């Protein structure tokens, strides 16, 4: 077998075609001025072709050296094509920002509203990426993570926890891409940072014993925010679900909240008691189309409007806390089954094999429960 059968002058003068240099190295010429180098190899018993670059950008000597290195890698029992792909990817220097964005895109399908609200990214975009976004992801270790998250580890514990979890997913994503990262970096960083000095604070709620008097007082207030609060209390819905509620979501005595606006990502039907329907009629008299409780500009009510009202009136409790008020009342004053209580709050209780077969949302049982709740509230 002849080796090194080509030279620079011969390669330049050859017409379009395929030309062997020896030991599996070939020059493929598209025309007299351009072509490419390939190396033919037998990898795991299969014939493969490995690109070595464009001719004449890659000279004959460079192509021969690259072919020699590929054969050396093959003798070590490795796939030179895969090894080259890994090197090419690593040379591209995937940054932490690139890796985070790639991880986010890969997980979008499982996030509420495909993550368009920005909640998945926000802990990182605010506290992490401005500091280390340009750092190569393979240089991300426990010491870097400790330095970045230490300022908020205790003061903003929940945000720091979310940022750490998302960084862990990012490192796993980078490892799956073939990048040599330390997938235990977050575990090591937690060890360096220590246990968080943080007490979980629940949203303040109103004791259910005080709710009837509060609701009666609320009925005397002429503000739209008070009307929205009354509707929120009677439906045990989340603040965001009420703020973005629209008339076209209501059919008869059923309010159907679409999956895109539900925390669990599943459509939620809420039976409306007579009082809740009366509130809708009051709202409809001022605004027959679009949002039920719009701001003066016709946009969704601000997420602070109802909270600010309660704060100004001297209440420590906040709107979201009425869900806890409802849940406590149901627990202490009724014999409602657990699944019905949780479904009334829009929580997902039927999971796995049970969820595959149990397809009722317990609407009729919840209708009775919400009627009892309305009677108690006043």
pLDDT (tens digit, 9 = 90+) per residue, 57-67? 899 999 999 99
Q: Report how far residue 42's alpha carbon sits from residue 99's, in angstroms, rounded to the nearest whole number.
A: 34
Phi, psi at 348, each rounded to 5°: -90, 120
Number of neighbouring beta carbons within 10 Å of residue 66:
20
Q: Report how far residue 332's alpha carbon sits from residue 198's, in angstroms, rounded to the nearest whole number.
A: 30
109-135 pLDDT, tens per residue?
Answer: 888 777 777 889 999 999 999 999 999
The separation between CA 105 and the C-alpha centre of its own chain, rounded to angstroms, equals 8
| CATH class of residue range 96-193 | mainly alpha
Evaluate if pTM is beyond 0.75: no
Query: Which residues of the chain carry a pLDDT beneath 50?
Result: 91
pLDDT of residue 297: 86
pLDDT of residue 200: 64
259-300 pLDDT, tens per residue?
Answer: 888 888 889 999 999 999 999 999 988 776 689 999 988 889
Number of neighbouring beta carbons within 10 Å of residue 120:
21
Q: Cβ(187)–Cβ(213) under 8 Å?
A: no
Comma-separated ranges of CATH 1.10.150.130 domains in the chain: 96-193
Q: Which CATH superfamily is domain 8-90 in?
A: Integrase, DNA-binding domain (3.30.160.390)
Comma-separated ranges of CATH 3.30.160.390 domains in the chain: 8-90
Q: Hey, which CATH number is domain 208-377, 3.90.440.10, 3.30.70.580, 1.10.443.10, 3.40.50.620? A: 1.10.443.10
DSSP characters for 186-239?
A: HHHHHHHH-S------PPP---GGGHHHHHHHHHT---HHHHHHHHHHHHT--H
pLDDT of residue 367: 96
Comma-separated ranges of CATH 1.10.443.10 domains in the chain: 208-377
pLDDT of residue 91: 45
């Amino acid at each position: 077998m002849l080796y090194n059968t080509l030279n620079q002058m011969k390669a330049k003068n050859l017409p379009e075609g395929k030309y062997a240099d020896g030991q599996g190295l070939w020059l493929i010429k598209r025309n007299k001025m351009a072509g490419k180098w390939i190396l033919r190899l037998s990898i795991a018993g299969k014939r493969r072709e490995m690109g070595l670059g464009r001719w004449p950008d890659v000279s004959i000597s460079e192509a021969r050296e690259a072919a020699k290195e590929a054969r050396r890698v093959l003798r070590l029992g490795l796939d030179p094509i895969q090894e080259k792909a890994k090197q090419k990817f690593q040379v591209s220097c995937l940054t932490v920002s690139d890796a985070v964005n790639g991880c986010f895109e890969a997980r979008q399908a499982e996030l509420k509203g495909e993550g368009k609200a920005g909640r998945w990214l926000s802990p990182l975009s605010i506290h992490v990426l401005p500091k280390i976004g340009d750092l190569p992801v393979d240089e991300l270790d426990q010491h870097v993570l400790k330095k970045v998250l230490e300022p908020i580890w205790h003061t903003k514990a929940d945000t720091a926890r979310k940022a750490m979890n998302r960084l862990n997913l990012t490192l796993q994503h980078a490892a799956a891409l073939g990048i040599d990262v330390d997938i235990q970096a977050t575990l090591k960083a937690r060890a360096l940072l220590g246990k968080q000095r943080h007490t979980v604070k629940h949203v303040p709620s109103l004791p259910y014993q005080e709710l009837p008097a509060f609701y009666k007082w609320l009925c005397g207030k002429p503000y739209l925010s008070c009307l929205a609060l009354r509707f929120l209390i009677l439906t045990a819905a989340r603040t965001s679900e009420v703020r973005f509620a629209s008339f076209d979501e209501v059919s008869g005595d059923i309010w159907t909240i679409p999956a895109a606006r539900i925390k669990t990502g599943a459509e939620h039907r809420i039976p409306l008691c007579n009082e809740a329907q009366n509130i809708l009629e009051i709202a409809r008299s001022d605004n027959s189309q679009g949002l039920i409780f719009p701001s003066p500009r016709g946009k969704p009510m601000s997420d602070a409007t109802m909270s600010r009202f309660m704060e100004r009136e001297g209440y420590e409790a906040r709107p979201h806390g009425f869900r806890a008020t409802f849940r406590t009342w149901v627990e202490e004053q009724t014999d409602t089954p657990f699944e019905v209580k949780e479904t009334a709050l829009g929580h997902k209780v039927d999971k796995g094999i049970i969820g595959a077969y149990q397809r009722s949302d317990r609407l009729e049982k919840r209708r009775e429960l919400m009627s009892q709740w309305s009677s108690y509230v006043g």
